[in-house]
Structure 1
Amino acid sequence: MVGLGDNNNPSCQNNISSKAKDKKKNKKKKRGGSKRKMTAEQTSAFKSVTEWVYLDRHHHPNSSSTAGLSSWVVDDFGVQKSLGRGTEKMVFELHSHSKHSDGFLSPSKLVERAHGNGVKVLALTDHDTMSGITEAVEAARRFGIKIIPGVEISTIFSPRNPEMEEPVHILAYYSSCGPTRYEELDKLLANIREGRYVRAKDMVLKLNKLKLPLKWEHVTKIAGKGVAPGRLHVARAMVEAGYVENLKQAFARYLYDGGPAYSTGSEPLAEEAVQLICETGGLAVLAHPWALKNPIPIIRRLKDAGLHGMEVYRSDGRLAAYNDLADTYNLLKLGGSDYHGRGGHGESELGSVNLPVVVLHDFLKVARPIWCSAIKDILEGYAKEPSDTNFAKIARFTRMGSFKGSTPLSCGKDLIDRCLASWLTAEEQQNDEFEAIRLKLSHATINLSGVQVPIETK
């Protein structure tokens, strides 16, 4: 009789070898299976996406020539893979957080990490603030990364049945100039942040009543100066104070939605937030719908309000149920890591979500006309009245030093051309409306040293 540990038996060795091969095959399938040449649709999508990513570069690593494209294939899920060396994968990271909300890294460190992970386009989507965008844009210039200014807005879904009320997070993606009617969006975000202070204090009070004497000063110290505390900051304080073993336990026992220490803030209605995003030149996307208790009525109502897409992809792949929901309601299928930098095995790495090239193309196909229109509106405001205030709207997320390059800016037209070069294609820039704006600004002088760009306070 052959023992379980007897590997000298030929029959046993053959079985082990066979099982190992099967296991290897299954593993390969899970990773995307076979690789094949890109279809005509995928090739066209790849060329279009690559063109936009490298707009401000005369030469880029991924040549759009036939020879360059021949070094690329796609897996069973439509994610592009390189066959040769020297070519760069097109990685978009559309959901990330910095220390300006509840992340652990500064925007600069976040960008540096993204670069190290091969990310080419990064959306910084801090909770209820855009205060980290300027630093991210500045850092991105050093690493050759394109930044999509974003924000994750905390809202509430409030149907007629109070028992179905639940928090909903909406991602907003804007152009390089940011939102039109910025003050209106900033007021909404400021109200939410103020409500976060009240909410966090209430959580601490509830924990105190549960015999956990957590101190408010401990929570605010972790959050950092001027940052509105969130649940994660409370959870971190609980871990440091020794009341729970880890963040997961803090949420599982006390801070989950409806939990014994859970509290709501002053969040706007989800539909109102979606409408405002659309009205201010942004793309509205539902974040992590798998966290919702009743996703279908929420998606249905938000679609009516103007929702453009929803997260479907995670680092562990595409979620079929939410993919089907996106198809049902004709929504873009997107995704991101939701990276916070807290570390540990439970967190997805920055840039770890593989978005198929056709998905990226569909995203830009919807977003770019919206962004183009928003940029035009902001530039038209400056053309009508070339004041410091209106100039600041153009350069809201850009430090003045960025405009002081080797080529001096002789007039407003030069400034506009430089602003648009990294965001709009030559075809998009050369329409009649942009030409009219250039003509108006051809004699307008620019005094960079005298312009003060307001930076949002957290």
Structure 2
Amino acid sequence: MGNKRKEKKSKKHKGKIMGEQGLALSYVHDWVFRNPSDDAAAAADDQGFLPAAARKITDSVVFELHCHSNRSDGFLSPAALVERAHRNGVNVLALTDHDTMAGISEAMQTAQKYGIRIIPGVEISAVCSPRREEAGIGEPVHILAYYGSSGPSRYEDLDNLLSNIRDGRYERAKNMLLKLAKLKVPIKWEHVAKITGEGVAPGRVHIARAMVEAGHVENLREAFNRYLYDGGPAYALGTEPSAEEVLQLIHRTGGISALAHPWALKNPIAVIRSLNAAGLHAMEVYRSDGKASGYGELADTHELIKIGGSDYHGRGGHDESDLGSVRLPLISIYRFLKVARPIWCNATKDILQNFAEDPSHTSLEKIMRFLMPNKFKGFSTANSAKDIVDLCVSSWLSKDEKEENDFDEIRHMLADTFISNCSAQMSLYSSR
């Protein structure tokens, strides 16, 4: 009798898991493989999804949520990074350069050739001080921020923060060179600047490359292990904001926040507890080498979404995880999107409302910054309100999401504004 009950309970539990898996599979596929292009319009159903017969439903949907281009400390251009991701079977790519979103537009443009979705992202340098009584003592942390296709709302606020961090990177790099000189490892600033490239803020990897080229170390790993690791003899802090400030800004600008590589922290339990209290959404727990044991339990304890990524830089070493090598469980992707999509939807609405209040060419350029640039060729503020709104929402939102979030109301606001502008221009012309 007891065995029959256990068997019945086990089947019920298994059925519940299978039901959730099926729901997750459908939800993720609908989002990943929605095609808003004109070519697919005839084949798509009323939600903009390709019909089931036109899609191959499999459990293998590859999300790459952590990688870097040469706009920060990676070796590949954003375009080359997307091309490599395509070769590796990646369906969704988040470009998360350090403290900059300068490569997003190029990545999005290239991704259109391959049918890859780009999640605009950034890895933000911060300092966490979990023990408030120990003023001035903090641990460096990296917070990943993920945004919808329209990018962050209130972009200027985020851009100002990132700009301040990048400015601090120059001072930080010079302090590292001073420390290296005292350690009898001289590196010229001009050498680092040449490696970094124009318009890119210097990071530790650029200094490490200079050390290799100058013959002070054999490889990048030795440079970090001997000199540049967190708290190492040549390590220096920049002008990083507090982690709490970063999390608040990510929330305010319509993003999803995640703690990057918690296994690199000296005091992960205290840091995760502190960040969770400040509103952290997720944390990395999955790695291609499988060495992140214990962090899944920490994430569960604090009810954080479990994600992961390769942290690919393109350095070419055998010890570096390649793009798409971290295969996230379908259920983790589902939970990530379930939290992210309403937030991204609200951010898009906020961006469009701001545009409705100021439908100028400058405002249009802000929208174009992230949204598939080549679709805006020939666009101007004279285009219909419907076209502008549709371009912002078509590739990310379902029919229900569009209807639930009053996008028709924004269309009317924009249409009224355009009519007023046209009337004003006609009056000005007739008075001449």
Q: Shorter-chain TM-score category?
A: 0.7 to 0.9
1:39 corresponds to:
18
Q: Deviations over 1:215-272 (max 9, x none)?
A: 1111111111111101110001000111001111101111111111111110001111
Mean alpha-carbon deviation: is it higher for 150-159 or for 357-366? 150-159
Matching residue within 69, 72, 78 for 1:107 = 78
Task: Give the deviation of 1:445 after TM superposition.
Answer: 5.5
AA aligned opposite 2:18: T
Q: Compute the displacement of 1:163 (Å).
A: 8.9
Match of 1:91 among 56, 62, 66: 62
Q: Distance in 1 between matches of 2:128 and 2:334?
A: 30
Select the residue among 264, 270, 284 that pairs with 1:297.
270
- Residue in structure 2 matching 1:396, options 358, 369, 384: 369
> Which residue in 2 is equivalent to 1:195?
168
1:335 aligns with 2:280: no
| 2:26 corresponds to 1:53 | no
SS in structure 2 at match of 1:327: helix
- Partners of 2:400 and 2:391 lie apart in 1 by 15
Counterparts of 1:63 and 1:396 in 2: how far apart (Å)? 31
Structure 2 match to 1:86 = none
How well do the aligned residues superpose, as a CA RMSD in angstroms?
Answer: 2.6
Change (3 A) 1:179 1:237: same
Which structure 2 segments of 5+ residues have no match?
A: 1-16, 422-432
Alpha-carbon separation, structure 2, partners of 1:209 and 1:108: 40
Verify: 1:129 aligned to 2:100, yes or no: yes
Could you tell me whether the CA contact under 8 Å between 1:244 and 1:250 is conserved in 2?
yes
1:114 alignment partner AA: A
Residues 317, 354 of structure 1: 8 Å contact kept: no
- Cα distance, 1:403 vs structure 2: 2.3
**Partner residue of 1:276?**
249
CA distance in 2, matches of 1:252, 1:191: 28
5 Å matches for 1:106-255? Answer: 106-158=77-129, 159=131, 160-161=133-134, 165-255=138-228
CA apart distance, 1:396? 1.8
Counterpart position of 1:357: 330
Q: 1:40 to 1:227 in 2, by over 3 A?
A: same
1:162 positional shift? 6.2
Shift, 1:68, TM fit: 5.2
- Give the secondary structure class of the aligned counterpart of 1:39: helix
* C-alpha contact 2:34 2:50 (8 A) present in aligned 1: no
User: What's the offset of the Cα at 1:166?
Assistant: 1.4
Normalized per residue, which structure has more helix?
Answer: 2
TM-score of the aligned structures, taking structure 1 as reference length: 0.81
Query: Partner of 1:456 in structure 2?
Result: none
Structure 2: distance between partners of 1:401 and 1:292: 41
Whole-Å separation in 2 of the counterparts to 1:410 and 1:342: 45
Q: Which amino acid aligns with 1:434?
A: F
CA gap of 1:211–1:402, structure 2 versus 1, over 3 A, is: same
The amino acid across from 2:29 in the alignment is T
Q: Match for residue 307 of structure 1?
A: 280
CA distance in 1, matches of 2:340, 2:96: 16
Distance across 2 between alignment mates of 1:144 and 1:279: 30
Could you report, residue by residue, the CA deviation over 1:15-38 in whole angstroms, capped at 9, with x for unpaired residues? xxxxxxxxxxxxxxxxxxxxxxx9
Do residues 322 (structure 1) and 295 (structure 2) align?
yes
- Work out whether residues 174 and 282 of structure 1, in 8 Å CA contact, stay in contact via their aligned partners in 2: yes
What is the CA-CA distance between 1:400 and the residue it aligns to?
Answer: 4.9
8 Å contact 1:118–1:351 — kept in the other structure? Answer: yes
1:346-385 matches, within 5 Å, as 346-385=319-358
Residues 154-210 of structure 1 deviation map (CA, whole Å, 9 limit, x = unaligned): 001133336962110000001111111111111111111011000001111111111
CA distances 1:291-324 after superposition (whole Å, capped 9, x unpaired): 0010111111111111001001011237331100
CA displacement at 1:67 relative to structure 2: 10
Report the Cα distance in structure 1 between the residues aligned to 2:229 and 2:85, rounded to whole angstroms: 29
How many angstroms does 1:399 deviate by?
A: 6.3
1:282, 1:271 → 2: CA distance? 14
Identity of aligned residues (%): 60
Does the 8 A contact of 2:262 with 2:268 survive in 1? yes
Equivalent residues of 1:55, 1:421 under 8 A apart: no
In 2, Cα distance between equivalents of 1:322 and 1:400: 39
Distance 2:234 2:56 in 1: 56
8 Å Cα contact 1:192/1:266 also seen in 2: yes
Secondary structure of 1:119's counterpart equals coil
